[in-house]
Amino acid sequence: MRFTGRPVTVHAARKWLFGESIPTQDKMRTLADWLGVSANWLRYGGSDDSTDSAGSRFSFESDNLKLASDLQLLDPDYRQIVREFVRILVLANSK
């Protein structure tokens, strides 16, 4: 939904997640923006102290991975509710 080019298929995303392929650079930039990390960090990894251009920290801690995994188990409508709720919390936290 965030990528303006040809849509990403479920099959393509699955291949990325299982390390069978990597996204093109333009898709990598979109993913990095969405995740709040640099495209360089997303492609090559690095230390846990990685920050994006806005200076925010993002880490793949086990509880974050569990939350993302649980989110995928929800129906699309419930996932959208969770996304909106998290967006509201992030906005409130930044004030």
pLDDT tens digit string along 8-61? 788 988 888 888 888 888 888 888 888 888 888 888 876 544 444 444 455 566
Same structural domain for residues 11 and 44? yes
Single out the residue of 5, 51, 45 nearest to residue 25, CA to CA.
5
Same structural domain for residues 11 and 54? yes
Same structural domain for residues 55 and 9? yes
Residue-level length of the chain:
95
Same structural domain for residues 24 and 47? yes
Residue 42 pLDDT: 81
Domain that holds residue 48: 1-59
Q: Are 42 and 31 in contact (CB under 8 A)?
A: yes
Same structural domain for residues 66 and 87? yes
Amino acid at 78: Y
